Structures are given as C-alpha cells and as structure tokens.
Amino acid sequence: MIEAIRHTLTTLGVNSAHPLAFLIVGVYGASWYVFERETFNWHAIATMATWFMTLFIQRAEHRDTQAIQAKLDELLHAHERARNELTDDHEPEEIARHRERARKDD
C-alpha cells in the first residue's frame, strides 16, 4: 500500500513538470474567470500566479534532474567498474537507503 502511494506521488511529481500542466492551470483559470467572474479578484490572480510559479519551479527542477541523470548514465557507461543497480526506476526512499549504505561501506 505504501509503495503504491509513493509511486503515485512520484508519478504526480513527474507529470506536474509536463508542459500540459501549464495548459491545465490556464484552462482552470480561464474557466474560473468565465464562470465565476465575481470571485475572480486579486486573491484569485495571486493564486493563479502561485500555481504557475510552482509549475515553473517544478519544471526547472525536473529538467535539472534529468540532465544530471543523463550525465550519470554517460559516466556509468564509460567506467567499466561502475555499479548500476540504481539505474532502473526506484523510489526516492530506496535511493536514499542505498546512498546511506554506500556511505557506511566507505
């Protein structure tokens, strides 16, 4: 059960970095403005701005993470003694446990 929740949260995080997320928030904001114009005030604009900034930050973080992962993949393929057991899809908690074990081994 916990694994399913973790996987769902990871998937949600990845999907929130997708460009389609911006369109969804934009459509939501436009719908809010069209159907509930009397409640679309400065607070609503601040809420929409916060959502868009969150998506921009999430997208930048995802891009940086993907770039780091690509570089690590290159390094793993270039170095013949490199271990690659974490190159598959693993949850962040698994990766943290692996890193902690690696630190203890050193």
Segment 24-64, tens digit of pLDDT: 999 999 999 999 999 999 999 999 999 999 999 988 988 88
What is the pLDDT at residue 3? 81
As a whole number, mean pLDDT of residues 67-94 equals: 76
What is the pLDDT at residue 87? 62
Are 104 and 22 spatial neighbours (Cβ–Cβ below 8 Å)?
no
What is the pLDDT at residue 41? 94
- CA 11 to each of CA 8, 35, 100: distance values in angstroms, whole numbers, following the listed order: 5, 31, 24
Predicted structure pTM score: 0.67
pLDDT at 71 over 60: yes
- The sign of the torsion formed by the CA atoms of 49, 55, 57, 59 equals negative
